[in-house]
């Protein structure tokens, strides 16, 4: 019997790439995102290309009770989720004091609350079956403070530490948990976060979403708790250990400023 992966934020970027990676590796899929039409189009592509069974679920996970709704729909279909990929998330660029609170709250709700709730809902059955996995998409942003993207960086730090904590709790259960920490990626994230002109990304060659997703898939199979994509990103994640936290924040601020 084929295993099933549930992927959030599946309509574009890294989430869409994860859908291709899991389908290629003989998984059936539950795809969750806000854009129902894109999900339907992706589902048809995956079913044709990989002969996968794909269930699209159009849900806005930043809304209250959305995670519970997804869980209920999955149970009604009598599907056992083997692997959960918590990819849905977004960022915002600019001074926190000038930001719109609604957007900051939705970011917190999606990047942290929905991820945590979905994990809490689906994890017990994985443990009961002594098999399964969770990929939480964090970021290299998780390793230091991020002026001009302060809330986003803080949410990704939460994702990293949450993942490391439950990974320890799950030792010996047969369930694997991995925090995927990509750096800047060709995923549409930068445009959505309005940071395309920042020094961090402007003029830089970035890895594709598929490269990142494939790396994340392999890292989970190897039971790698923290998976940092790219050698340079790995060393950059270590650098805050060797400078003061104030200095680290200053460096990130400089990288985020527009050229």
List the CATH number of the domain containing 210.
Answer: 3.40.50.720
**Domain of 42, in residue numbers:** 3-256
Q: Which tens digits make up the pLDDT trace of 17-39?
A: 999 999 999 999 999 999 999 99
pLDDT in the model for residue 195: 55
pLDDT in the model for residue 188: 65
In sequence order, the 6+-apart residues with CB closer than 8 A to the CB of 231 are: none
Beta strand 175-181 pairing with 27-33: unpaired
179-200 burial, b if ≥16 CB within 10 A, otherwise e? bbbbbbbbbebbeebebeebeb
pTM of the model: 0.90
pLDDT in the model for residue 161: 98
Q: What is the CA radius of gyration of the chain?
A: 18
Distance from C-alpha of 170 to C-alpha of 176, rounded to nearest angstrom: 7
pLDDT in the model for residue 31: 98
**Contact indicator for 13, 188 with CB cutoff of 8 Å:** yes
**Contact indicator for 199, 256 with CB cutoff of 8 Å:** yes
Distance from C-alpha of 259 to C-alpha of 252, rounded to nearest angstrom: 14
Burial tier of 1 (Cβ tally within 10 Å: 0-12, 13-18, 19+): exposed
pLDDT in the model for residue 191: 56
Count: domains in the chain: 1
Q: Which tens digits make up the pLDDT trace of 184-199?
A: 998 666 555 555 555 5
Distance from C-alpha of 224 to C-alpha of 114, rounded to nearest angstrom: 23
Distance from C-alpha of 167 to C-alpha of 160, rounded to nearest angstrom: 11
Q: Which residues of the chain have pLDDT under 70?
A: 187-204, 259
**Contact indicator for 182, 89 with CB cutoff of 8 Å:** no
Bridge partners, residue 227, by sequence: 180
The Cα-based distances of 214 to 9, 22, 157, 201, 242 in angstroms read 16, 9, 22, 22, 31
CB 202: neighbour CB atoms within 10 A?
A: 12
pLDDT in the model for residue 189: 62
**Contact indicator for 11, 32 with CB cutoff of 8 Å:** no
pLDDT in the model for residue 73: 97
Q: Which of 258, 257, 251 is nearest to 145 (CA)?
A: 251
DSSP assignment of 141-208 equals GGGS--TTSHHHHHHHHHHHHHHHHHHHHTTTTTEEEEEEE--S-BSSHHHHTT-TTBTTTTT----B
């Amino acid at each position: 019997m084929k295993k099933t992966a549930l992927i959030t934020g599946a309509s574009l970027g890294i989430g869409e790439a994860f859908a291709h990676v899991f389908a290629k590796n003989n998984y059936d899929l539950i795809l969750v995102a806000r854009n129902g039409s894109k999900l339907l189009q992706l589902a048809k592509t995956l079913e044709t290309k990989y002969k996968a069974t794909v269930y699209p679920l159009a849900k806005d996970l930043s809304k209250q009770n959305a995670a519970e709704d997804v869980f209920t729909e999955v149970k009604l279909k009598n599907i056992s989720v083997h692997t959960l990929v918590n990819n849905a998330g977004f960022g915002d660029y600019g001074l926190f004091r000038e930001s719109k609170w609604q957007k900051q709250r939705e970011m917190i709700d999606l990047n942290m609350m929905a991820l945590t709730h979905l994990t809490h809902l689906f994890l017990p059955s994985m443990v009961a079956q002594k098999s399964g996995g969770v990929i939480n998409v964090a970021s290299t942003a998780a390793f230091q403070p991020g002026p001009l993207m302060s809330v986003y960086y803080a949410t990704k730090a939460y994702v990293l530490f949450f993942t490391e904590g439950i990974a320890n709790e799950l030792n010996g259960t047969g369930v694997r948990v991995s925090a995927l920490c990509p750096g800047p990626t060709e995923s549409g994230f930068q445009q959505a976060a309005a940071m395309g002109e920042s020094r961090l990304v402007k003029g830089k060659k970035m890895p594709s979403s598929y490269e990142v997703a494939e790396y994340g898939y392999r890292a989970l199979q190897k039971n790698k708790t923290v998976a940092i994509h790219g050698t340079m990103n790995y060393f950059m994640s270590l650098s805050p250990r060797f400078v003061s936290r104030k200095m680290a924040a200053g460096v990130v601020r400089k990288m985020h400023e527009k050229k």
